[in-house]
Amino acid sequence: MGTFLDSLSFPARVRKDLGEVFLKKDKEPVFIQCKACNRRALKQDWQKNYYVCPVCGHYRAIGAYYRLSLILDKGTFKELNEGMEPKDPMSFPEYRDKLKVQTEKTGLPEAAVTATGKVGGHKVVAIVLDSRFFMGSMSSTVGEKVTRAVEYATEKKLPLIIFSASGGARMQEGIYSLMQMAKTAAAIEEFNAAGGLYISFLTHPTTGGVTASFASLGDITLAEPGALIGFAGPRVIEQTIHKKLPKGFQRSEYLEAHGFVDKIVPRSEMRDTLIQLIELHT
């Protein structure tokens, strides 16, 4: 951070896609602009607030590793199947280039991070889909990583927590993407049959093939406030039924009211809620 005088020395550098505002020479952004209310707030205020907008309360997308750092006990994080890279099973034009861009933007090789670690002293398997990478879409590698982590949890008899965030199928992987739904759902069902606890945590957005597979199969289903959750996207629905959708349609609160979510959990209470639930099952 620069001095107060520095902060007056505009022009600043702005990364519009991320809404980050840098002051001259700074490597870290000083201000972050909210995508909902467009107001800027100090990064340190965002941080204190777990990246929920200090002005309007909008939930900003957070990275997979950052989310894991919010829930896991310090020093217990251990990644599973680290560095698994996407394949290009259909030799789809420009797919590899697009993946490169996603990796440059996020530093991730794929949209899923899988790990073991402890939550309040209890060992768990945690899976996080990162919406910043290709909208968290389901590729064959995402499906494979999820399946392997679930199988690991089944084998080691560990509770399973999955944070879903996905725009749906990875179009560039076609039928291979579709088949991941069957594969992951089967893995969850085997985990279920073995008596494991699966907490499905839905974050913005959880849609398409992820909603229609592992995300909807939790023993306990939690959701972050205001997350878009559904199978078909709202635009497709509006085009099909030629009607405007009701306010708040497909949002967490709407799903809670219609019987598909156990509880809406703010980010600040995420870790405590998980600890409570795991302890109720031990």
Partner 1 sequence: MLEKVLKSVEKLDKKITTLEKKAAGETEELVNAAYESDEILEDIKEEYEAWEYHGTEIDRLKQLRDYLLQDCTKLTPDEKVFLARHPKRPHIDDFIEGLFTDFFEQKGDHLFDEDRSIYGGIARFHGIPVTVLGHRKGHTMEESMAYNFGMPCPEGYRKALRLMNQAEKFRRPIITFIDTPGAYPGLEAEEHGQGEAIATNLAKMSQFHVPIIAVVTGEGNSGGALAIGVANRILMLENAVYSILSPEGFASILWKDADRHKEACELMKLTADDLLKAGVADGVVREPLGGAQRDYKEVFKNLDEALYANLKELMTLSPSGCKSERQMKYRKIG
Q: What's the angle, vertex CA 57, arms to CA 26 and CA 218, rounded to 5? A: 105
Q: Which of residues 198-237 bind partner 1 (CB under 8 A)?
A: 208-209, 211-217, 230-233, 236-237
Sole window of 3-11, 28-36, 165-173, 262-270 interacting with partner 1 (rule: CB under 8 A): 165-173
Q: Residue type for 237, please?
A: I
Q: Between residue 243 and residue 272, which ones bind partner 1 under the rule CB under 8 A? A: 243, 245-246, 249-250, 258-260
User: What would the x/- binding string for partner 1 be over residues 60 to 89, using CB under 8 A?
Assistant: ---------------------------x-x
Written as six digits, the tokens of 111 are 């949209």
DSSP for 109-172 reads SSSEEEEEEEETTEEEEEEEE-TTTGGG-B-HHHHHHHHHHHHHHHHHT--EEEEEEE-SB-GG
3-state secondary structure labels for all residues of 187-199: HHHHHHHCCCCEE
Give the residue carrying structure tokens 């997350």. 227
Assess 152 for contact with partner 1 (CB under 8 A): no
Cβ closest to partner 1, residue 87 vs residue 157: 87
Q: Which residue in 10, 240, 247, 280 binds partner 1 (CB under 8 A)?
A: 240
Choose between 93 and 107: whose C-beta lies nearer to partner 1. Answer: 93
Residue choice 6, 45, 82, 189 for contact with partner 1 (CB under 8 A) = 189
Number of residues that bind partner 1 (CB under 8 A): 56
Q: Which is nearer to partner 1, 50 or 260 (CB)?
A: 260
The answer to whether 70 touches 265, Cβ cutoff 8 Å, is no
Main-chain phi, psi angles of 5, to 5 degrees: -60, -40
Measured from the CB atom, is 183 or 271 closer to partner 1? 183
HSE at residue 117, side-chain half, CA atoms within 13 A, is: 26
The residue behind tokens 């306010």 is 247
- Give the burial class of 67: count Cβ atoms within 10 A of its Cβ; 0-12 exposed, 13-18 middle, 19 or more buried: buried
**How near is the Cβ of 216 to partner 1 at its closest, in Å?**
4
Omega before 205 cis (within 30°)? Answer: yes
Give the x/- contact pattern for partner 1 in 30-59, rule: CB under 8 A: ------------------------------
Instruction: Report in angstroms how near the CB of residue 181 gets to partner 1 at its nearest.
Output: 6
Interaction site with partner 1 (CB under 8 A): 87, 89-90, 92-93, 139-141, 143-144, 147, 169, 171, 173-183, 185-186, 188-190, 192-193, 208-209, 211-217, 230-233, 236-237, 240-241, 243, 245-246, 249-250, 258-260
